[in-house]
Amino acid sequence: MSIILKVNKLSKSFGGIHANRNITFEVKKGEILGIIGPNGAGKSTLFDLITGYTKPDSGSVIFNEQSINNKKPHLISKLGIGRTFQKLKPFHDQTLLENVIVGALATGLSLEKAKLKSLEIIDLVDLIEKRHHFAKELSTGQLKRLELARAMATNPNLLMIDEVTGGVDQKTVPGLIEIIKKLNSLGVTIITIEHNMRVIMSLSNRILALDRGKKIAFDEPKEIQENEKVIDAYLGGVEVATN
């Protein structure tokens, strides 16, 4: 499988806090890569660094063999990286359909074609009945789907999903997982941040584990489950300082 994204020694500090330290990994075309780590591990910062919302202190990001370092978020989106946000960011005063149309317009379609494409995607995330509802009228689970649909409408090659199951009830989780699998089956490479271990283990081909800004493991789910550093990070094991 060819490599779609290559992250090389990416670092970012905020004041004295190292949010990301020398993170290196690559993503294969068509896979689902999970990113895990306790709160404050630097997962969302890593997303922001890749998608241009935060500038790295050092390191590089190569997408489809093209450097996207220091590119603005809208240009990175145009290159084919879609994303959702940990804190939901729907366009509240617009309907679900209008939200998704905004994404579809990014591909240069006419309004009518953008509408048709948006409806197909809304159908894919099982929200066709809610198409005329304002975003502010939707539940958290529905908003998560809205964000997935909106990002998908931009025709991404790589979709970065930040905690899709966060803040939703357990009944909603399987539906969301199904949607991610569906999107992946359409050929979209996916990177997903997750706190829900069951979800990440069942969903991912490989998992990147972070702790306090550092990569502590990068392997297949089975190996990650047995990795001592990962267990330590989640169970609160004491890290021995080394040079």
Q: Which is nearer to other proteins, 53 or 234 (CB)?
A: 53
Taking 3-state DSSP, the helix, strand and coil percentages for the chain, each rounded to the nearest 5, stand at 40, 25, 35
Closest CA to 53 of 68, 41, 65, 40: 68
> In angstroms, how far is CA 75 from the centroid of its own chain?
17
Q: Is 61 in the site for other proteins (CB under 8 A)?
A: no
Q: Is 209 in the site for other proteins (CB under 8 A)?
A: no
Residue that the structure tokens 């992250």 belong to: 7
CA distances from 104 to 24, 152, 179 (A): 32, 8, 18
CB of 159 to other proteins, least distance (A): 11
Q: Is 150 in the site for other proteins (CB under 8 A)?
A: yes
Q: Is 102 in the site for other proteins (CB under 8 A)?
A: yes
Q: Is 22 in the site for other proteins (CB under 8 A)?
A: no
Q: Is 103 in the site for other proteins (CB under 8 A)?
A: yes
C-alpha to C-alpha distance for 117 and 105, rounded to whole angstroms: 10
CB of 109 to other proteins, least distance (A): 9
Q: Is 132 in the site for other proteins (CB under 8 A)?
A: yes
Whether the CB-CB separation of 43 and 233 falls below 8 Å is answered with: no
Q: Is 46 in the site for other proteins (CB under 8 A)?
A: no
The two tokens of residue 202 are: 């069942």
List residues binding other proteins (CB under 8 A).
Answer: 51, 53, 72-74, 77-78, 82-83, 85, 89-95, 98, 101-103, 105-106, 111-112, 115-116, 119-120, 122-123, 126, 128-129, 131-132, 134, 137, 150-151, 153-154
